[in-house]
């Protein structure tokens, strides 16, 4: 062979890379799995109906409304407007209806301590109305003839008169 051909072959061999021998593919990396977040168990709670806005004068909105307790999951309509006594010195009765119940309670009002008004269902207090506009309700249990502890309510919407 001529020297130039030999040099060409040497140069060609030096410039080309040998292909690597085929090998088995590397295993795919395991997918990263994040640990599940720690979540405290919860009990299902009925959610009160969405807030409702009605066209009512302000003095009516102060006396009729829907109130709820997120903690206990109850809702109630309180109506301090439609039931009236003839004697202006008396405390007008309150009407109350729990969400999911058709029964409307008509409650008799008496003066409680510290300016609070206690509304009775004939046996026990069902509603406290405080001077600052806060309400607390006692839920009667017809099976045991007992009432719950006071449940603080927050106004969350307007309501129709009972």
Residue found by looking up tokens 């640990």 in the block: 35
Q: What is the pLDDT of residue 152?
A: 93
86-118 confidence digits (pLDDT tens): 776 678 899 999 999 999 999 999 998 888 999
Number of domains within the chain: 1
Q: What is the pLDDT of residue 160?
A: 86
Does residue 118 lie in a domain region? Answer: yes
| 3-state class percentages of the chain: helix first, strand second, coil last, to nearest 5 | 10, 30, 60
For residue 161, what are its two tokens? 């008169």
66 assigned to some structural domain:
yes
Q: Which domain holds residue 91?
A: 58-157
Confidence bin at 13 (pLDDT 50/70/90): low
Phi/psi class of residue 152: alpha, beta or left (left: φ > 0; alpha: ψ in -120 to 50)?
beta
Nearest to 153 by CA among 56, 58, 62, 78: 78
In-domain check, residue 31: no
- Does any domain span residue 143? yes
Whether 20 maps to a domain, the answer reads no
Q: Is residue 21 part of a domain?
A: no
Among the listed residues 119, 129, 126, 120, the one whose alpha carbon sits nearest the alpha carbon of residue 140: 126
* pLDDT score of 57: 77
Q: Is residue 34 part of a domain?
A: no
Choose between 155 and 30: higher pLDDT: 155
């Amino acid at each position: 062979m001529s020297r130039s051909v030999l040099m060409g072959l040497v140069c060609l061999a030096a410039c080309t890379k040998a292909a690597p021998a085929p090998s088995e593919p590397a295993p795919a990396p395991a997918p990263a799995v994040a640990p599940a977040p720690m979540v405290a168990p919860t009990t299902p709670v009925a959610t009160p109906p969405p807030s409702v806005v009605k066209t009512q004068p302000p003095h009516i909105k102060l006396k009729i409304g829907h109130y709820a307790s997120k903690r206990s999951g109850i809702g109630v309509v309180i109506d301090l407007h439609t039931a009236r006594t003839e004697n202006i010195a008396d405390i007008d009765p309150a009407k109350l209806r729990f969400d999911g119940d058709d029964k409307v309670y008509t409650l008799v009002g008496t003066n409680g301590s510290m300016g609070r008004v206690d509304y009775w269902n004939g046996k026990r207090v069902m509603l406290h109305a405080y001077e600052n506009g806060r309400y607390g309700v006692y839920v009667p249990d017809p099976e045991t003839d007992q009432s719950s502890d006071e449940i603080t309510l927050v106004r969350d919407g307007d309501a129709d008169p009972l």
